[in-house]
Copies of this chain bind each other. A is one copy, B any other.
Amino acid sequence: MRRPAPAGKKGGKQRDQARSGLGRASGNADSRSAFSVRVGLVGATGYTGMELARLLAAHPFMSLTRATSRREEGRSLADLHPFLRGTAVGELPISAPDPEDLARACDLVFLAVPHGAAMPLAADLLRRGLRVLDLSADFRLRDRAVYERWYAMEHTEPGLLTEAVYGLPELHGAELAGARLTANPGCYPTGAILGLFPTLKNSIAGDTPPIIDAKSGVSGAGREAKVGSLFGEVSDNFKAYSLSTHRHTPEIEQELSRIAGRPVTVSFSPHLLPVNRGILSTIYVDLKRPNMPLRDIRTLYVEAYADHAFVRLLPEGALPDLRSVRGSMYCDIGLVKDERNGRLIIVTCIDNMCRGASGQAIAGANLMCGLPPAAGLGLIPLAP
């Protein structure tokens, strides 16, 4: 892997002119790749693939050298995703996925394919010496039996389950540094775990299982043609689904149990919002000490995230909203005490496509490759 030179922003500067100048530049591709980690994207057509392409188009130290899709082979990324026209990434031709070719052209590969499909491909690419960042669920659950029960499918690479690092950068940054295989967290688990981490770490919750009432934008359902995802079905509508049976439940419980140092179960209730991006989670925790002051609880959150700029604890009285994190890596957290019932209510917001999938994947890949953790992720939210 070629490491970025100290003067790495030069590449960024040239790209800036080429991509967006009122005049047109040329020849910057070569100079840029000199400092770049070469990355591949397997699964370019879905929403996570689109979002990875968006982020890689502006990444100062990563160069997208392969984008694959069996169905769209031969078209350019910009033909597929017209918002990429005029960018260097957009000109990349889409190829069929081929591990040998990926091994030649890439240092690290992002897998944006369905669960089940990622397993064998990850194993193959690792054997060829690549690093792998898997955005599917295949390596998130450490217990093979739990995976097989919730995903109704045999796990064919159980040997990799212990090696895979759960790629939540605030919690596992050290393990991610230099990792070969990273399991990118699910979208719902990201917002739920970041919201509960300080509470469980500090053992202030009582015995009642927490409730995570989560509401997600539609992009979380993927870009496949399904009646249930049609505009006519989702727009001006709202519903709950998969209550108590959603596959992100064991992932959330696994991570919360690790944090708490004891088995934690939750009631996890997903809902489908008529928005494109974003997850808001309203989390209910019965406090061990019902009279614990909100101020003391806030202190635990301040301390937990003091060194993590992507987590923004809102001022007392403020609550997060989806648009304030749209397109960015931020996880916004608001805290409310229901004094009459001795309950803590934690509200978190993330962009499910960026923080909850592709942006978090970039953060993980940055750490795996020794790049600055926030490289390419200085994203200002788009509002409105």
Contact = CB atoms under 8 A, between A and B. Distances in A.
Contacts of A280: 238-240, 271
B223 A225 contact: no
A291 B280 CA distance: 31
A226 interface: yes
A73 to B, nearest CB: 17
A228 B233 CA distance: 14
A374 interface: yes
A289 interface: no
Contacts of A312: 85-86
A347 B282 CA distance: 16
A219 to B, nearest CB: 5
A345 B267 contact: yes
Contacts of A60: 16
A15 B310 CA distance: 14
Contacts of A233: 231, 384
Interface in A144-200: 169-170, 173
Given A23-B373, A277-B384, A319 B10 contact: no
A83 B321 CA distance: 9
A319 to B, nearest CB: 5
Contacts of A235: 218, 231, 234-236, 274-276, 384
Interface string A73-97: 0000000011111110000000000
A3 interface: no
A358 interface: no
Interface stretch (A29-37, A105-113, A124-132, A208-216): A208-216
Given A231-B234, A284-B267, A382-B326, A309 B21 contact: yes
Tallying the copies of this chain within the complex gives 4
Nearest to A47: B232
Given A225-B226, A231-B230, A240 B282 contact: yes
A339 B209 CA distance: 12
A136 interface: no
A322 B239 CA distance: 7
Contacts of A260: none
A314 interface: yes
A372 B19 CA distance: 13
Interface string A127-141: 000000000000000
A285 B209 CA distance: 12
Given A47-B232, A273-B238, A20 B379 contact: yes
A361 B72 CA distance: 39
A262 interface: no
Contacts of A332: 82, 85
A308 B50 CA distance: 25
A174 to B, nearest CB: 11
A237 B332 CA distance: 14
Given A226-B225, A383-B50, A274 B271 contact: no
Interface in A254-310: 265-267, 269, 271, 273-278, 280, 282, 284, 286, 306-310
A248 interface: no
18 contacts: A9-B10, A19-B374, A20-B379, A22-B173, A24-B308, A50-B383, A54-B382, A54-B383, A82-B314, A83-B326, A209-B343, A223-B230, A229-B231, A235-B236, A237-B322, A240-B280, A244-B337, A382-B382
Given A21-B372, A232-B276, 16 more contacts: A54-B383, A82-B314, A82-B320, A83-B323, A213-B282, A215-B271, A218-B235, A223-B230, A224-B227, A230-B231, A231-B231, A231-B234, A231-B235, A237-B275, A240-B280, A284-B284
